[in-house]
Amino acid sequence: MSDAPRARKAWAVLAYTVADDKAGGDALDAAAQKELKALCDAADFGQVSIAAQVDFKRPKGVYRGTLVAAPPKERGFQDVSGESHPLWRKILGQVDAERSTLRVQVERRDLSAARANVLQEFLHYGQQECPADRYVVFFYGHSYGPMGLFCDAETGQRDPDTLRLNDLAGSLQTTGGRAAVVVFRDCFMNTLETAYQLKDATEFMIATQSLAPIAGVWPWLNFMAALVPGAESVDVGKAIALQLAHFLDEPGNRDPFADVPYSLLDLGAADAFAEPLKALVEALDAARDDPKRSRACAKALEGARVGYPDDRSKPGDPALLDVPTMCDNLQALAGDPVSAPASALGDALRSRLVRWHHAQKQNYRGTSLYYKPVKPKDVERSYLQAEDAEVAAADAAHYKTLALCQATGWHKIALNPLSI
């Protein structure tokens, strides 16, 4: 194996897939295999390198591989044949051996892919083996929006881990520099909490406010066409988002849901919404002292909740507010102190943060924000709000530490909703 340094490319894609979940089935395994194969089939290795890590539910173990124009060198995981797993065997059959090299490694232990150190190690590995000017980082697996991503455990571990947003941001930042675009094929990740937490870790993010279906393989050939030398990050983000919109407009690609909204967020504008949100928190908190104001504000906030995980027409979560809708509802309370900061927040989102948004319906309008459900039926149907008191307490303690809450105090409202 050659020790010669590999040529630096304009772009590389780092794909982190976690097929483990709380459920007993392994439906995500097959979907993850198809997705990663499509990603590798689409790449032009003269311009783009790929590093991928996947934690399958069955068989146990963690696989990672690189597709580069020159053989990589790495110590750590055990090298195995490309024939060692159906996924890599299929990819191997598509590789032009004269133009690119596939290397597959396996860690036979079942690592917890929801731990920050496992993600950090993969990102370092990807940057070492696929040196590039800029990176697109792709996440695929189950997630809980502001409460974190994935649900995984290593061999012998009793309770599964969740990768919290602060650990996600920290892992991305340890690689040095900011990723150009982070793309989430994970449920509910389009939130102000995610955007603010990742503002120093990536330039742009593409994510959904709702459930992300496992139906269909994303159009990676079209995505890869955007990764050309000299392309601006915003243009790459818009190109990926636009192709994703075309894909999701086909009913079969979003089955069984009627609506799968996606947005492109400019995280360079994250600080622009912090001040108006902080002012809104102060106005909402003051409204508690006036029962009439409190009821009016509470009604406006409740009216911004969109969907349920078991609602195929509105596949959202009652623990999340659509923020543009919230701003419009509060702004409509003319003369109330909440109106002005709500208007300022809405303007910041529309003009700065949300660079592109697409949905099949008008239920979702750009980005979401956590707001604890107050109705028993909402708590029962929520995917994000834990019914178990111990888990809910741990989530709340984590939520208070998020960068958005530290900067704006939103947790004072989110964890203690106004009385209706």
From CA 216, how far away is CA 35, in angstroms rounded? 9
Together in a domain, 275 and 252: no
Domain end residue (candidates: 269, 290, 310) = 269
At residue 12, the pLDDT reads 92
The single residue listed with the structure tokens 């941001």 is: 169
The answer to whether residue 118 sits within a structural domain is yes
Q: What DSSP character marks residue 276?
A: H
Domain end residue (candidates: 216, 251, 269) = 269
Helices (H), 62-191: 86-94, 116-129, 165-173
Q: Of 342, 338, 318, give the one whose Cα is nearest residue 328.
A: 342
Helix (H/G/I), strand (E/B), else coil: 316? coil
At residue 32, the pLDDT reads 75
The answer to whether residue 161 sits within a structural domain is yes
Domain end residue (candidates: 269, 287, 310) = 269
126: Cβ contacts below 8 Å, ≥ 6 apart: 12, 14, 51, 66, 135
At residue 158, the pLDDT reads 58
Together in a domain, 210 and 108: yes
What are the tokens at 332? 């409509």
- Whether a cis peptide bond, with omega within 30° of 0, leads into 261 is no
Cross-strand partners of 265: 205, 354
Together in a domain, 285 and 259: no
Together in a domain, 249 and 313: no
Together in a domain, 86 and 226: yes
Residue type, 3: D
The answer to whether residue 205 sits within a structural domain is yes
**Secondary structure of 75-102 as H, E, C letters:** CCCEEECHHHCHHHHHHHHHCCCCCCEE
Together in a domain, 150 and 115: yes
Together in a domain, 227 and 284: no
At residue 420, the pLDDT reads 77
Burial of 136 (0-12, 13-18, 19+ CB in 10 A): buried
Together in a domain, 187 and 300: no
Together in a domain, 175 and 116: yes
The answer to whether residue 117 sits within a structural domain is yes
The answer to whether residue 190 sits within a structural domain is yes
The answer to whether residue 4 sits within a structural domain is no
Per-residue pLDDT of the chain (420 residues; tens, 9 = 90+): 344 556 788 999 999 988 755 554 455 567 777 887 888 777 766 678 888 888 766 556 677 777 765 444 444 455 544 444 555 455 545 544 444 455 565 665 556 777 888 899 899 988 988 899 999 999 998 899 999 998 765 655 556 778 999 999 999 987 677 899 999 999 999 999 999 999 999 999 999 999 999 888 999 999 999 999 999 999 999 999 999 999 999 999 999 999 999 999 999 999 999 999 999 999 999 999 999 999 999 999 999 999 999 999 999 999 999 999 999 999 999 999 999 999 999 999 999 999 999 999 989 999 999 999 999 999 999 999 999 999 999 999 999 999 999 999 999 999 999 987
Quote the number of domains for the chain: 2
- Domain range enclosing 339: 271-353+369-414
Together in a domain, 26 and 145: yes
The answer to whether residue 2 sits within a structural domain is no
Together in a domain, 50 and 158: yes
From CA 341, how far away is CA 337, in angstroms rounded? 8
From CA 321, how far away is CA 262, in angstroms rounded? 15
Together in a domain, 376 and 280: yes
